[in-house]
Structure formats: structure tokens, C-alpha cells
Amino acid sequence: MNPIRTPFRRFFALDVRSAVILLVLFGVVRVALVLQANVTGSYQVVGVVFAAMIALPWVLLTREGRRRIGLVRPARARWLVPAALAGLGSAALVHLVGFALWGTTVEHPFVYIARSYSAVPSPLGEGERLMFFLIFAGIGMTFSPLGEEILYRGLAHEGLSTGVGNRSAALIDAAAFALVHLAHFGIVYVSGVWAFLPAPALFWVAAMFAVSIMFFAFRRLSGSLWGAITAHAGFNLGMNALIFSAVL
């Protein structure tokens, strides 16, 4: 059964070529929009990219295609709780290592990312802190995990694996995932000046590569993309909890 919807079969397939096109297209657009948002302080348009990622399987794929990329009920749902806990733990590890190396300066990834929360007033009252945490954590646990896991551990991985196998595909989509996150931290805009922070950027890219491999591991363990999505949501929850408790 062909996994691609009829109107798109001439242009798209679950193969290496289509996977690379998706990674490059979404990567370039996302980096450009995030870098611009770092200047303007308005990140709403970046959400459109995540919404487009989420929509891809229902636009391009048949039900069989969605099954092939892992959009199915977890075969081993017992792995979902460990996935969430692993995501939380990895966010805590990133924070602790970042704090040990760079304290609360903008060279710490979470400190710089907190600067993008332009809607959050300063100083924060306790009631406001909880309210904004719930808003940002809710957004961070939905749009980004769903969109990124559908693209990287779903569509791109399935296409790449047809040519290079599962292990190499996991390394490639993890590398792509890590590199686009340089737009969120590594290439920074501070006090009206662009800068590249070599050591913090290397740490951040390595961390994003490692958590990406972890997300893929939970996809395999759970038998579903929901394992990866849950681990990713756990990481974003942990990051926001640390930002609102230790940074803002």
C-alpha cells in the first residue's frame, strides 16, 4: 500500500531525497525565523513552523504512511513514564552543567533562552510566576514536541532509514535537530549585537544531539512516536521549570 497521498506521489516519497529536502527546508526557514525573532522579541511566527510540521503527516501521508512513521498507539506504553522522567532529568543535567560552567550569564543556554520570554514581566510575583510557567510549559510541551518529533523521528527518520538504516538515520536526524537549535542558543543577540559563543554553542549542540538520540530510543522502546514526544515534552517541562524557578 502506497504511504503517500495521491496528489503528492510525483513529488514526495518516504525516501532519503524527500527526508533531506524536509530537513533542509524546515531547518532553513526555522533558523531564519528564530534569528529574526531574537531581534524583534516576537516568536509567534515560529509557532507556524511547528504547526506546519504537525500537519505534514495528515497532508502528505495515508493512514498506512502515518503508521509507518510511528503515529500509532504505543505497543509498550509502560515506557512513557520513564520517557517523561528521562526528559526531565536531561533538562536538569543541562542546567546543572551550564550553571557549573557559566553561572547565570547568557552563556548558560537556559539563561539566554529565558530572554526570549519577552511577555513575562519583571519582577514576577509568585502568582504571576505560576501562571506564566503554566502557559509557557503548556506551549513547550505541545507544539515543539509534536512538530519536531513528527519531522525528525518520524518523517525524516523513516525516509533516511530506507537508504542508510535505522542507526545511521538516527545519527543524521539527531545532528540536524541539534544544528537548528543553534538559532535558539549559540548564535546570540545581546544588547543589539550578534555574537557566536563557541564553547557554550558546542555544549548546547552536543546536549541537543544527546537528547535527540534519547528521544529516538524511547520511540523504539515504546513502539511509537509517542515515546519520543513524551520524552521531548518532559525535557521542555524541565527546562521551563528551571527557567521559572532558577533564572527568572
Is residue 34 included in any domain, yes or no? yes
Residue 1 has pLDDT above 80, yes or no: no
- Residues 202-234: pLDDT tens digits? 999 999 999 999 999 999 999 999 999 999 999
Is residue 204 included in any domain, yes or no? yes
Domain that holds residue 203: 6-247
Say which residue the cell 498506512 belongs to.
64
Alpha helix (H) residue ranges in the chain: 16-40, 44-60, 63-68, 80-102, 109-115, 126-140, 143-148, 157-164, 166-180, 198-222, 225-242
Is residue 144 included in any domain, yes or no? yes
Domain count, the chain: 1
What is the SS3 assignment for 141?
coil
**Closest by alpha carbon to 232, among 139, 110, 146?**
146
The answer to whether the predicted template modeling score (pTM) of the entire model surpasses 0.85 is yes
Is residue 1 included in any domain, yes or no? no
- Residues 146-175: pLDDT tens digits? 999 999 999 999 999 999 999 999 999 999
- Residues 48-97: pLDDT tens digits? 999 999 999 999 999 999 999 999 999 999 999 999 999 999 999 999 99
Q: How many CA atoms lie within 13 A of 142 on its CB side?
A: 8
Residue 42 has what pLDDT?
83
Is residue 121 included in any domain, yes or no? yes
